[in-house]
Amino acid sequence: MFLRNMWYVAGFSADVQPGKCLARRFLNEPVVLFRTATGVLSALTDRCSHRAMPLSEGHVDGEVIRCPYHGLEFDCTGRCVRIPSQENIPPTAKVRAYPCVERYGLVWFWPGDPS
């Protein structure tokens, strides 16, 4: 049993470089940390909503992280914004986004209730 409604240290800010993915496991859940080209930090469930492929094995392309299996692209909120060869994106095509912030040279994330 884990305490969820509290901030946890996810790593050092310097470990999350722009355009790179960082796979971690927190509270027995896979999480991918990444920084977009503009420097926005994000933490998402490290599992594509389509075939459960780890997103951390994909790559960051500009402002999205791309799944290595079918190429689905997710923004920092966990919403799928592009599916190759398909125009209609189902509203269920999303992954959980964790609130995260940078303070004191560390990345902090909140695994509990986002509200």
- DSSP assignment of the chain: ----SS-EEEEEGGGS-BT-EEEEEETTEEEEEEE-TT--EEEEESS-TTT---GGGSEEETTEEE-TTT--EE-TTSBEEEBTTBS---TT-B--EE-EEEETTEEEE--S---
Interval 52-65 mean pLDDT: 95
First-to-last C-alpha distance (Å) of the chain: 21
Strand ranges of the sheet holding 21-26, from the earlier edge strand across to the other edge? 21-26, 29-35, 41-45, 97-98
On the question of pLDDT at 1 being above 90, the answer is: no
Q: Which amino acid is at 14?
A: A
* pLDDT band per the 50, 70, 90 thresholds, residue 115: confident
Give 11 or 114, the one with higher predicted confidence. Answer: 11
For position 58, what pLDDT does the model report?
Answer: 95
On the question of pLDDT at 96 being above 90, the answer is: yes
Q: Average pLDDT over the chain, rounded to whole? A: 94
**Whole-prediction pTM value?**
0.92
